[in-house]
Amino acid sequence: MKYDFSEIESKWQKKWQESKVFEAKDDFEKPKFYGLIEFPYPSGAGMHVGHIKAYSGLEVISRKRRMQGYNVLFPIGFDAFGLPTENYAIKTGTHPRQVTDKNIEHFSEQLKKVGFSFDWSRVIDTTDENYYKWTQWIFLKMFEKGLVFRDTALVNYCPSCKVVLSNEDSQGGKCDICKSDIVQKSKDVWYLRITKYADRLLSGLDEVDYLPNIKMQQVNWIGKSTGAFVDFEIKECGEKLRIYTTRPDTLFGVTFMVMAPEHPMIDKYADKIKNFDLISKYREECSKKTEFERTQLVKDKTGVKIEGFTAINPVSGEEIPIYISDYVMMGYGTGAIMAVPAHDERDYDFAHKFGINIKQVIKGGDISKEAYTESGEMINSGFLDGIKEKSVAIKKMTEYLASKGIGEAGVQYKMKDWAFNRQRYWGEPIPIVHCGKCGMVPVPYEELPLRLPEVSNFQPGEGGESPLAKIEEFVTCKCPKCGGPAKRETDTMPQWAGSSWYYLRYVDPKNDKMFASPEKLNYWLPVDWYNGGMEHVTRHMIYSRFWHKFLYDLGLVPTDEPYAKRTAQGLILGPDGEKMSKSKGNVVDPNETVEKYGADVLRVYILFMGDYASAAPWSESSVRGCKRFLERVADLPGLVKDDCKDKLDSHFHKAVKKVSSDMEELKFNTAIAQLMTLLNEIEDYGEISKEQYSVYLRLLSPFAPHLCEELWEKSGEKEMIALAPWPKYDESKTVDSTVEIAVQVNGKVRGTVCVAPDEEKDSVFKKVFADEKLAGNFTGKTVVKEIYIPGKIVNIVVK
């Protein structure tokens, strides 16, 4: 058959759309499969090959599930709020709404050309007011439950985008969007109290099936540590300075203490500090330091001794000096530490620079050279002396602290509360009203959605305030509580808001009474399999797990965790092996491949190019190889014979087994390789039965659906292959009647012998020793040991 892919592909894309085969049915009797891919941000640049790889994995799984008889929900939507669209709108003077609509249309068209089996009847758009109504609704529920709070804080601020960023969006001190250096700025910030869920976000990981590296990253991100809080009295003012430590066992080794520059006690007792001028100067220097300086100068500790403050070690009674230094941060623990230079590298560096005494309390290492951070026998530690186990010493000290009322066991997390506002136009308005009399008042639920007003200028204000602040009609309003004059909040939600619950909306996208009906949620949740990029494993995933757990606590969703299983695809690198980027000029446009080789070739190539979870470079010549493969498949009908012998039968049973299981394990490359091998075998043999042909097409159809539909139809089938039953295999038929196994002598392969898979040992060795080619290996030697693993190998040890 001539393989006219463009004709075949447009024909079947049209048929799929018209017949609605990929629309999920709310048939609660059928077993369900909910496959989720990360919905794209519809950028003006259009689709990237990375999108295709990200979607292809679950695309083939979803197609397989339909063939296995599942009711499949494989939805698509658009995460369309966000800065790039807004920046483009500012640049071109177009409204973000128009930009978004145009981009979504363009994106949809491109996705359809690849033949993804998405349910296009459930498309969602986070910027649609019928969608963001519910984003605001959930926010108000959180407000109601005390999970939303406002605070003035030093925030990560991007001077270029003029926007406050969360810690997650400013990793490494760079803006996630424009890569500019972040500065610290004092601002009013809305927070979501995600830390309240820290422990459950951590323990919930035990119940889900995420790839190990994904779990690990989330565990790291949450960053739980256990230790103790200890109170040190300050002699001069009598107040207790509370610190957090993971090493209470080293309490006897404390030789100084350090406070963060922003620690409130410094201002509180300014009059008692003799060198306050010096301290103030140091604090100023710290606030000016860029993130770069702070991270690059880690080894070079700076600080100032607080003259006039002396702390008292609560267990030894020793008097110890207190310093301020920016190696201690206000944002973690209590903003103050006990320093044990003998057993902590950072404290050691600091003590070394400032000439502070170093007191060893754990035996081992060489304290004159470096801090000893391993475990060992406790010394110079009063009642802990002689203990060799770190955990025992920690336990004993913690119990002692608690019994004396000078401390207690404690837990800390690296994860911070979620800064939840942006001073931008293209986001969900925060539905809160500020009333002089009543304070912060939520917009009543029945007034949702709180719509974005029409604005002509999307440029943020110079002071970093939202463009909404300039719209008088929007800002001025009545307090929903007292009816008095009030002002609306003008900040909008961050991009991560809409994506925190979108998988819930897919279940019931047109519901106007609720974000989704309980019956439908009950049936479809949890998401059975979620695939996406590693870059979203810490931010988007943790945020959405948090929202989900919140909704679960309100009884609004049926499961504690949203995603039962999570995998991640590897990057597609440029042909040069580098990460694709416009500046390197190594970006591959998927549309060109579709035009030139067809969507089926593109799909097969992307899944064949390498291990799905690893990065792999693009290779156009390999794309051509996949084209050749499909062309040969298109010629397969010529080999179909009615009276074909069943010589290849076991090959087919093996292939069904391998392709089926490889797909489940994300090993699409070897699944396709198996189909290639089978094709080679068929061509070598020269004929194939009608039934075998049918099996072959069904196995290949998730990967190359257009071509397989066409061949399927040509072979006389009336129904689409998309709903044909997935082939089954017979385990007993995957085993050959004879196998050729290797014969090793002293571990080296010396020949082979043909035996039955379960042949008796005696019989096998009779054949081995009768073999003329092998005989030379035994002459003049004594057989010491005979090893036979049925179906695998023979190894003979001789001397």
Partner RNA sequence: GCGGGUGUGGUGGAACGGCAGACACGAUGGUCUUAGGAGCCAUUUCUUCGGAGUGUGGGUUCAAAUCCCACCACCCGCACCA
Judged by CB under 7 A, the chain residues 253 through 312 that form the site for RNA are 260, 294-295, 297-298, 301
Asked if 618 and 610 touch (Cβ cutoff 8 Å), the reply is no
d(CA 720, CA 18) in angstroms, rounded, equals 13
Q: Report the SS3 class of residue 110.
A: helix
For residue 446, count CB atoms less than 10 angstroms from its CB and return exposed for 0-12, middle for 13-18, buried for 19 or more. exposed
Position among 112, 667, 698, 706 found at the interface with RNA (CB under 7 A): 667
What is the footprint of RNA within residues 399-428 (CB under 7 A)?
412, 414
**Interaction between residue 775 and RNA (CB under 7 A):** no
Judged by CB under 7 A, which stretch of 25-33, 193-201, 500-508, 669-677 contacts RNA? 669-677
- Rounded least distance, CB 330 to RNA, Å: 7
Spacing of C-alpha 253 from chain mean position: 41
Output 338 or 497, the one with its CB closest to RNA: 338
Residue 492 DSSP code: B
What is the footprint of RNA within residues 437-466 (CB under 7 A)?
none
Output 290 or 357, the one with its CB closest to RNA: 290
Judged by CB under 7 A, which stretch of 11-19, 561-569, 580-588, 663-671 contacts RNA? 663-671
Short-list 663, 647, 739, 756, CA closest to 701: 663
- Rounded least distance, CB 573 to RNA, Å: 8
The residue written with tokens 């911070």 in the block is: 416
Position among 365, 453, 610, 637 found at the interface with RNA (CB under 7 A): 610
What is the footprint of RNA within residues 127-186 (CB under 7 A)?
167, 171-172
Structure tokens at 590: 């998927």
For residue 33, count CB atoms less than 10 angstroms from its CB and return exposed for 0-12, middle for 13-18, buried for 19 or more. buried
- Rounded least distance, CB 194 to RNA, Å: 15
Short-list 161, 76, 36, CA closest to 458: 161
Position among 10, 130, 280, 670 found at the interface with RNA (CB under 7 A): 670
- Rounded least distance, CB 710 to RNA, Å: 20
Asked if 112 and 46 touch (Cβ cutoff 8 Å), the reply is no
**Interaction between residue 628 and RNA (CB under 7 A):** yes
Position among 617, 702, 705, 727 found at the interface with RNA (CB under 7 A): 617
**Interaction between residue 32 and RNA (CB under 7 A):** no
d(CA 668, CA 521) in angstroms, rounded, equals 31
Short-list 450, 547, 455, 446, CA closest to 489: 450
Output 346 or 520, the one with its CB closest to RNA: 346
Short-list 18, 9, 43, 20, CA closest to 122: 20
Position among 104, 616, 695, 720 found at the interface with RNA (CB under 7 A): 616
Position among 97, 242, 352, 632 found at the interface with RNA (CB under 7 A): 632
d(CA 115, CA 598) in angstroms, rounded, equals 10
Continuous segment of H or E residues that includes residue 434: strand 432-435
- Rounded least distance, CB 288 to RNA, Å: 13
d(CA 557, CA 574) in angstroms, rounded, equals 42
Output 333 or 429, the one with its CB closest to RNA: 333
What is the footprint of RNA within residues 533-562 (CB under 7 A)?
534, 538
- Rounded least distance, CB 609 to RNA, Å: 5
**Interaction between residue 746 and RNA (CB under 7 A):** yes
Short-list 136, 106, 121, CA closest to 45: 106
In this structure, how many other beta carbons lie within 10 angstroms of the beta carbon of residue 154?
A: 15
Judged by CB under 7 A, which stretch of 430-438, 440-448, 559-567, 665-673 contacts RNA? 665-673
Short-list 188, 169, 222, CA closest to 495: 169
**Interaction between residue 793 and RNA (CB under 7 A):** yes
- Rounded least distance, CB 8 to RNA, Å: 19
Output 156 or 421, the one with its CB closest to RNA: 156
Q: Report the SS3 class of residue 787.
A: strand
Position among 238, 317, 463, 747 found at the interface with RNA (CB under 7 A): 747
Output 71 or 544, the one with its CB closest to RNA: 544
CA pseudo-torsion sign 522, 526, 527, 528 = negative
Judged by CB under 7 A, which stretch of 193-201, 583-591, 662-670, 687-695 contacts RNA? 662-670
- Rounded least distance, CB 246 to RNA, Å: 4
In this structure, how many other beta carbons lie within 10 angstroms of the beta carbon of residue 237?
A: 15
Q: How many residues bind RNA (CB under 7 A)?
A: 81
**Interaction between residue 652 and RNA (CB under 7 A):** no
Judged by CB under 7 A, which stretch of 70-78, 316-324, 621-629, 648-656 contacts RNA? 621-629
Position among 251, 265, 679, 774 found at the interface with RNA (CB under 7 A): 679
Output 65 or 346, the one with its CB closest to RNA: 346
- Rounded least distance, CB 333 to RNA, Å: 3
What is the footprint of RNA within residues 188-247 (CB under 7 A)?
212-213, 216-217, 220-221, 223, 225, 227, 244-247
Residue 664 DSSP code: H
d(CA 614, CA 606) in angstroms, rounded, equals 12
CA pseudo-torsion sign 318, 321, 322, 323 = negative
Output 468 or 594, the one with its CB closest to RNA: 594
For residue 765, count CB atoms less than 10 angstroms from its CB and return exposed for 0-12, middle for 13-18, buried for 19 or more. middle
**Interaction between residue 329 and RNA (CB under 7 A):** yes
- Rounded least distance, CB 622 to RNA, Å: 5
Residue 483 DSSP code: -
Calculate ∠ Cα 760-763-767, nearest 5°: 135
- Cβ contacts of residue 298 below 8 Å, gap of 6+? 327
What is the footprint of RNA within residues 723-742 (CB under 7 A)?
740-742
**Interaction between residue 672 and RNA (CB under 7 A):** yes
Taking the CA of residue 435 as centre, how many other CA atoms within 13 Å lie in the half-sphere pointing to its CB? 18
For residue 425, count CB atoms less than 10 angstroms from its CB and return exposed for 0-12, middle for 13-18, buried for 19 or more. buried
Position among 337, 387, 468, 644 found at the interface with RNA (CB under 7 A): 337
CA dist list (Å): 564 to 36, 154, 204, 572: 11, 37, 11, 26
**Interaction between residue 341 and RNA (CB under 7 A):** no
**Interaction between residue 395 and RNA (CB under 7 A):** no
d(CA 187, CA 420) in angstroms, rounded, equals 12
Position among 92, 186, 203, 680 found at the interface with RNA (CB under 7 A): 680
Q: How many residues does the chain have?
A: 799
The residue written with tokens 């500790």 in the block is: 301
Output 78 or 244, the one with its CB closest to RNA: 244
Helices (H) and strands (E) in the chain, counts: 25, 28
- Rounded least distance, CB 751 to RNA, Å: 9
- Rounded least distance, CB 73 to RNA, Å: 29
Position among 669, 691, 715, 771 found at the interface with RNA (CB under 7 A): 669
Output 53 or 301, the one with its CB closest to RNA: 301
- Rounded least distance, CB 290 to RNA, Å: 11
Output 310 or 670, the one with its CB closest to RNA: 670
For residue 296, count CB atoms less than 10 angstroms from its CB and return exposed for 0-12, middle for 13-18, buried for 19 or more. exposed
Judged by CB under 7 A, which stretch of 75-83, 136-144, 686-694, 787-795 contacts RNA? 787-795
